[in-house]
Every structure is written in C-alpha cells, then in structure tokens.
Chains A and B, each alone.
Chain A
C-alpha cells in the first residue's frame, strides 16, 4: 500500500528569535490511514496538585460509596466534573506520622508525600527519596522537551526551618530528583512562559524589560513559520492552530498585565516578575500554561504545589484575614472551621476551573482531560490534629480511558498512598514491585 500523504512530525516547532513554540496534536501529525493506530495514540499525562494543611473532612467525604451523587460541600465546585473524577478514601501515608521524630507533621507530610520516605528531620543535610513523578519523568521524559514541570504559587525558599526542625526544602517542594535534590517549583508565570516558549536563552532583567517595552508578542517572532505551516494544513488543523496560538497569546497578555499591575501597585513590591496579585488569577495563569504544555506534549509530568504545607496565607479575597495554618488549628470552634471550609472550597473551585479548561481541549475523540490523571489532595486529613490516614484524595481524568471515573472508592484502612502511586506509575509505563511503603497497585480503579 502506498502512503499518499506525508504526516507532520510530532516534534514540529515554530521558531523565531529566542522563541520555540511546540505544536498541539494536529490531524496532520497522524500518518495517512493510521487513524486508530499507535502513531495517533495520545500520551497519558500525570499530575499531582497539592493543597496544604489538611481539609475539613466533613465537607470532603461523601457518606456513600460507588457512583458519585450529591457531592459534599467542599467538592461542590467540581459538580460539572463529577463524571471525570474518582474519590479515593482511606489512603494513608504512614511515613508522614511522627515515627519517633516528634513534632513537625507539616514538614514531614509534604516531604514524604510523593517520595513515600520518612524524611530526615534536619535543617541542613536534607534527605528524602526519589519522588514517584521523577521516576516516571526519568522514563517518559525522554520523549518530551521537559521531563517534568514543577510549579507552585507561594514560597520557594529552600533553606531555613519551616516546621519544628524540618527544612523548608521539605515543605516547599513536591518533586525530588534524588534523595538530596528537590526540584523547586516555578512560581513566576513569566519564568514558566519563558521556559516553555523560550529557546533556552537566559535574558537579563534589563533585556526582559526592554523586550516587554517593545510590546511584541512571541507570536510575532514565529510569524514566518506559522504562515508557512498553515499553508500545508487543512481547515480543521488551521482552526486548531489558530485556537492554540490564541491561547498562548492570551497567556502572554495576562502575564504582561500582571507585570504592569505589579508595577502600578508598588514598583518595589517583593513579587516575582509577572506574578499576579490575585490568587485565582495566578492559579489560572499557571494552569493555562501547564495546559499548553500538556497540549503540545512539552511534558507529561507535573507537580503543582498550590501553597506550601504550613502556609499561613490569608485569603482576603474571601474576606478571611486569618492565616490558613492557624485557622486549621481551630480546636473545634465553628467560626474557624467554617473559614477553613471556605478556603478548601476556594482551592477546589480553582482546580475545577483547570479541569474545565482541560476538558474543553479535544484530542481526537476524547479530551485532554480524558488523557490525564491528575491527583488532587493533601498530606494531612484533619489539619487540627495532624492525622495521616484517610487522606483527601481525588483523581481527575481517566488516564486515557483507563480508569473508571464518576465514583467513590473506599479502600481498607491503612492502605498505603504509595499503592495509588504504583498504579499511576504503572499507567505511565513504569512498573515497580515496591515504592515507599506500597505493597501492590491499588485495586478497583481500572475499567475492567
């Protein structure tokens, strides 16, 4: 059989001065007559989204198992995605417990969250383990421009005491490349943008300002490549490409706006260049970029530290001037508990917004969300008492039509969280007999 139509290489880039833009999946990338064959198969993306200080479990756990019906209060913002998520109950991180190391549950639980290791209680010679996302990145990352992305919204300090003798390296990182090398999250949208679409050139702050002053879009730099590519594409692909580049432009515009706003608020303010003052906007901007990164297959592995464990961020946008962490030690006071619930809801609402975005992007017959498995959760369940069992855990996406969603699964008590990680790693093609205290892949998630 003759192939009459040449396919576009998956790794096609639009290049221009200091700019490299990867492309989303286009029909033209599928070889002719291979509509259902392997070359057209969409990759599965794995992500971990971490929220700190536990969650008010009375607003998280439904009082039923099986098919998701009415969602509890904190999960209400995810109502539109009920069919896209799986709630998993009773997962435990034993290595987050004290285990003779005394106080410091916040530092411990975040350090052990993706590593499954009882981290060393220290401020200096930090020691955890290779996190499960990095074990995956080591394998599937070979196929993408970035083995993994690490993003966050709050605090990237890597030294100092962030909890009772635990280094900030434990609270401020989720991903660990080795037992002593965490991968700090990118907080600044501009920095993430430049990482995703730059050509690796590191611009000085002055050059960056000068470039911004020109008010030129990166799309201007790749105009030539874009026009040339469009002439080779069919109408559907042209529309897809236009939509994609528009979303890139919109991100760029938002970053410029944030920079401009920051400068107007206070030119000396201690915020990274391009970080929006508004939490929700910051969240949306970062997840928009991650979406593009997933869409263009720049990476398949993400960790997203929404805010760090022990975060005392005040949510003034909700009318809550108190710090998050102090609020979680509510000692049963209803008014404080209510504030924590509202913060939990607010985080869930931001997450839901991201899922909406992922779902709006089509990949063949499915959506980008369908081809993701995004774990949303916390390293503590009851933030007041620092409990490490029945951790709030939600899996969004079906991992490429692999997991049966729209359900609540309750595991047996003390089931290691690492069992879920083993399942996710397995789905990403990384098979391991043991990870952390994991004993076997989690049962009951698969479609079959």
Chain B
C-alpha cells in the first residue's frame, strides 16, 4: 500500500476579523485574496467575530469576487468556503460598509453581488470552521490572522484536541490588535478583554502582534480606491470603502500589515521586536515585557519600507482576479480511478464585472 504523496502547498491562512466595524478588515481580505491569486498563500477559512449576518454575507461576497466558488480547503465541490460567524458578542449592529454593497442593485433590480448567506444556518459555528480548516493543513503550514476581538479564536482553546491541533498544524498567530510596546486601549482588545487575555496567555504557538501604530504609519491611500480598482464597474471592497466614511480618506492598515507579514514573513518588510510577553491589562491596554524566553513579538515599522509596503497593498488588493481551475490534490495513488472528478472550473458568480 502506498500513501498519497503530496507536495506542501502555499501557506494556509485562516482569517478572523470583525468585518463591518472598520474598513481595514475589508482591505485585508482584498489583500489576502490578492496573495492567494498569486499562489503565495491559500485562504482556507474566514471567520467573523462581529455577530452580524451581513458581515458574513459581505465576507462571502468578497471571497466570491476574488476566488470564485471553489473551496480550496475542503474540496467542497462547488460550495463556497463556509463562513464562520459568531452569534454572541458586542457591536452586533449593521454598518453602512456592510449594507451598502449588499444593497446595490443592477438596472433590473437584481443584487450586484450574489452570496449564499440569507440565514444563520448558511453560516457555520466559527469553532468548527477553524478546527476543520486546521485539520486539513500540512504540519506547521497554517498561519492564523486575527483582526479584532479574540472571541472566536479563544474558543479553540476549550477543546483538548484543539490544543494538540494548533501547534501541529500552525506555526504562528498574527494578532492585529493592541498598541505596542504599550499605549491606550484599542477596540479590538476592549471588545473582549478576557478572550484577548486568554489567547495571549495560553496560545500554544508564537504570536506576532500588530499594533494600531503600525496601521496608522502605513495608510492605504484613498486615491488608489479611485484609480486602481477602476477596472471593475462593481467592486465590493470599493463600495464598502465609499460607504464607510465620506471620501476621500486614507485608511489605517493594521490587519493588512498582519496579512502581509503572515504570508511574506521573510521578505524583510517589517522589523520584529525582541521576544517577550504581551499581557492584557484590566482596562484593555496591552503591555509588552521583554523576555528572552517569551513567545511574543510585535511588528515594528521600518520607515524605509513604508512606500514599498503601500505599493504591495495597492497592487495585491486591487489585482484583477483571474479565474482558474480549482487546485487539485497533488496525489500519486495506486488507484487513481477512485479520485473524485474535478469540480467545474472556477467561475466567480458575482463578479468581477466587465472592465470599463
């Protein structure tokens, strides 16, 4: 008997965010799918910590826009990746950046962006999505990116099997929340202080934190929204961007920095702090204490790299998706006849729209 021989694919990214509370998460998703499109990573799961159905719907819209309907993680045969959605938590309310893209209609009153999320059963419990996505990854070939409250991610720590699974399958947790080495409290932490505290204290892999100071130092330029995304008449990230705040405005980018670091850790785009331990104080502030044995570091902006990073943000996030055949498992088997047939070629059902 011969086991399947499989090449290690690009790193699998699991992205958890509170989409809808700030435009930075939508930009990070765009960046992530841009990197996925260049085969630098695979988006293997998205989970949403904002308990709002439209947040899950917009996440799926963005996923379909960039990646089509083919599931890379589960070989799900045409079904979209399940979106994990929290049902408990703060900031449940709709926001314009969620509702505007979803409400957009064509001339004949049809939704411009299709998605499959109409009710809660169209989403998944985040714990199941996170665990199942991890279980499908090669050893140490996954990175979790957390942007916002740690409410979903902390659930993984409840299960003994997860505590084995996390270090076996993932090599890093990148958290876009807090301020480093210290500073005022940040909403991503304050929304669920206890969850953040537990994750920093108990997470079984190294953690790299991306503070708000990083996102403020490397802004995403409003001008790019007007120019670089113009190839599509309808772009969900652009619609969300316009709805979030009156244009023009530059956006902060801590989640984008977290994604870029997660995928291009060795590219020298950012500096890292010395090792240490991050603790979460009672008022939600984060505090970094240097320690040679610490498992935490935080990202430091290298001023000389800012323009290069901004250029990467723009190029990757605004890249035109190229429909491609779904990835097949690279398998050498004794009995290839029993491989399931390939799903039909990827065809984004909701876009991109025709270029102008």
User: Do residues A415 and B338 form an inter-chain contact, with CB atoms below 8 A?
Assistant: no
Interface of chain B: mostly helix, strand, loop or mixed: loop
User: Do residues B341 and A384 form an inter-chain contact, with CB atoms below 8 A?
Assistant: yes
Pick from B128, B335, B338, B339: contact of A414, CB under 8 Å: B128
Number of B residues, CB within 8 Å of A: 41
B255 → A minimal CB distance (Å): 24
| A412 and B120 in contact, given A102-B6, A439-B125 (Cβ under 8 angstroms) | yes
Q: Which residues of chain A are within 8 angstroms of B76 by Cβ–Cβ distance?
A: 387, 389
- Residue-wise, chain A 67-107 has the 8 Å CB interface mask toward B (1 for contact) of 00000000000000000000001101010011111111110
User: Do residues A413 and B3 form an inter-chain contact, with CB atoms below 8 A?
Assistant: no
User: Do residues A414 and B1 form an inter-chain contact, with CB atoms below 8 A?
Assistant: no
- Residue-wise, chain B 115-149 has the 8 Å CB interface mask toward A (1 for contact) of 00000111111011101100110100000000000
Asked whether A144 is an interface residue with its Cβ less than 8 Å from the other chain, the reply is no
Q: Which residues of chain A are within 8 angstroms of B333 by Cβ–Cβ distance?
A: 102-103, 164-165
Pick from B120, B123, B129, B335: contact of A103, CB under 8 Å: B335
Pick from B1, B124, B128, B161: contact of A165, CB under 8 Å: B1
Asked whether B82 is an interface residue with its Cβ less than 8 Å from the other chain, the reply is yes
CB closest chain-B residue, reference A382: B77
A428 → B minimal CB distance (Å): 23
Residue of B78, B336, B339 most packed against chain A (CB within 10 A): B339
User: Do residues B124 and A439 form an inter-chain contact, with CB atoms below 8 A?
Assistant: no
**Alpha-carbon distance A105/B74, docked complex (angstroms):** 13
User: Do residues A412 and B338 form an inter-chain contact, with CB atoms below 8 A?
Assistant: no
**Alpha-carbon distance A437/B334, docked complex (angstroms):** 30
CB closest chain-A residue, reference B135: A99
User: Do residues B123 and A413 form an inter-chain contact, with CB atoms below 8 A?
Assistant: yes
- Residue-wise, chain B 144-177 has the 8 Å CB interface mask toward A (1 for contact) of 0000000000000001110000000000000000
Asked whether B96 is an interface residue with its Cβ less than 8 Å from the other chain, the reply is no
User: Do residues A104 and B338 form an inter-chain contact, with CB atoms below 8 A?
Assistant: yes
User: Do residues B75 and A412 form an inter-chain contact, with CB atoms below 8 A?
Assistant: no
**Alpha-carbon distance A101/B75, docked complex (angstroms):** 13
| A164 and B123 in contact, given A98-B329, A100-B136 (Cβ under 8 angstroms) | no
User: Do residues B136 and A99 form an inter-chain contact, with CB atoms below 8 A?
Assistant: yes
B63 → A minimal CB distance (Å): 14
Pick from A99, A123, A439: contact of B128, CB under 8 Å: A439
User: Do residues A164 and B334 form an inter-chain contact, with CB atoms below 8 A?
Assistant: yes
Q: Which residues of chain B are within 8 angstroms of A100 by Cβ–Cβ distance?
A: 4, 6, 136, 138
User: Do residues B331 and A102 form an inter-chain contact, with CB atoms below 8 A?
Assistant: yes
Q: Which residues of chain A are within 8 angstroms of B77 by Cβ–Cβ distance?
A: 382, 385-387
Number of A residues, CB within 8 Å of B: 43
Residue of B75, B79, B84, B128 most packed against chain A (CB within 10 A): B128
User: Do residues B159 and A121 form an inter-chain contact, with CB atoms below 8 A?
Assistant: no
Asked whether B266 is an interface residue with its Cβ less than 8 Å from the other chain, the reply is no
**Alpha-carbon distance A89/B121, docked complex (angstroms):** 10
User: Do residues A412 and B341 form an inter-chain contact, with CB atoms below 8 A?
Assistant: no
A93 → B minimal CB distance (Å): 10
Asked whether B343 is an interface residue with its Cβ less than 8 Å from the other chain, the reply is yes
| A385 and B340 in contact, given A102-B333, A412-B123 (Cβ under 8 angstroms) | yes
CB closest chain-A residue, reference B330: A102
User: Do residues A412 and B74 form an inter-chain contact, with CB atoms below 8 A?
Assistant: no
A322 → B minimal CB distance (Å): 16
Pick from A102, A104, A161, A385: contact of B341, CB under 8 Å: A385
User: Do residues A410 and B3 form an inter-chain contact, with CB atoms below 8 A?
Assistant: no
Asked whether B2 is an interface residue with its Cβ less than 8 Å from the other chain, the reply is yes
Pick from A384, A413, A415, A416: contact of B340, CB under 8 Å: A384
Asked whether A411 is an interface residue with its Cβ less than 8 Å from the other chain, the reply is yes
CB closest chain-B residue, reference A389: B76
Q: Which residues of chain A are within 8 angstroms of B329 by Cβ–Cβ distance?
A: 98, 102
**Alpha-carbon distance A302/B107, docked complex (angstroms):** 58
CB closest chain-B residue, reference A122: B1
Q: Which residues of chain A are within 8 angstroms of B122 by Cβ–Cβ distance?
A: 413
Q: Which residues of chain A are within 8 angstroms of B339 by Cβ–Cβ distance?
A: 103
Q: Which residues of chain B are within 8 angstroms of A89 by Cβ–Cβ distance?
A: 121
User: Do residues B135 and A94 form an inter-chain contact, with CB atoms below 8 A?
Assistant: yes
- Residue-wise, chain B 1-13 has the 8 Å CB interface mask toward A (1 for contact) of 1111010000000
User: Do residues B82 and A413 form an inter-chain contact, with CB atoms below 8 A?
Assistant: yes
Asked whether A264 is an interface residue with its Cβ less than 8 Å from the other chain, the reply is no
User: Do residues B127 and A439 form an inter-chain contact, with CB atoms below 8 A?
Assistant: yes
Q: Which residues of chain B are within 8 angstroms of A92 by Cβ–Cβ distance?
A: 128, 132
B337 → A minimal CB distance (Å): 9
User: Do residues A329 and B341 form an inter-chain contact, with CB atoms below 8 A?
Assistant: yes
**Alpha-carbon distance A312/B87, docked complex (angstroms):** 44
**Alpha-carbon distance A94/B73, docked complex (angstroms):** 11
Q: Which residues of chain A are within 8 angstroms of B132 by Cβ–Cβ distance?
A: 92, 94, 97, 414, 437
B97 → A minimal CB distance (Å): 24
User: Do residues A412 and B125 form an inter-chain contact, with CB atoms below 8 A?
Assistant: yes
Asked whether A331 is an interface residue with its Cβ less than 8 Å from the other chain, the reply is yes
User: Do residues A103 and B125 form an inter-chain contact, with CB atoms below 8 A?
Assistant: no
Q: Which residues of chain A are within 8 angstroms of B84 by Cβ–Cβ distance?
A: 414
User: Do residues B75 and A98 form an inter-chain contact, with CB atoms below 8 A?
Assistant: yes
**Alpha-carbon distance A413/B126, docked complex (angstroms):** 10
User: Do residues B3 and A102 form an inter-chain contact, with CB atoms below 8 A?
Assistant: yes
Residues in A252-280 with C-beta less than 8 Å from chain B: none
Q: Would you list 17 pairs from A and B whose C-beta atoms are within 8 A, ordered by A residue? A: A89-B121, A90-B121, A97-B75, A97-B132, A100-B4, A100-B6, A103-B331, A164-B338, A329-B341, A385-B78, A387-B76, A388-B74, A389-B82, A410-B121, A412-B121, A416-B128, A434-B159
Q: A98-B329, A106-B338 are in contact. List 8 more A-B contacts (CB 8 A).
A: A89-B121, A100-B6, A102-B4, A165-B1, A387-B76, A389-B74, A389-B76, A437-B132
Interface residue ranges, B against A (CB under 8 Å): 1-4, 6, 74-79, 82, 84, 120-125, 127-129, 131-132, 135-136, 138, 159-161, 329, 331, 333-336, 338-341, 343
Interface residue ranges, A against B (CB under 8 Å): 65, 89-90, 92, 94, 97-106, 118, 121-124, 161, 163-165, 329, 331, 382, 384-389, 410-416, 434, 437, 439
Closest 3 CB pairs of A and B: A102-B4, A385-B77, A414-B124
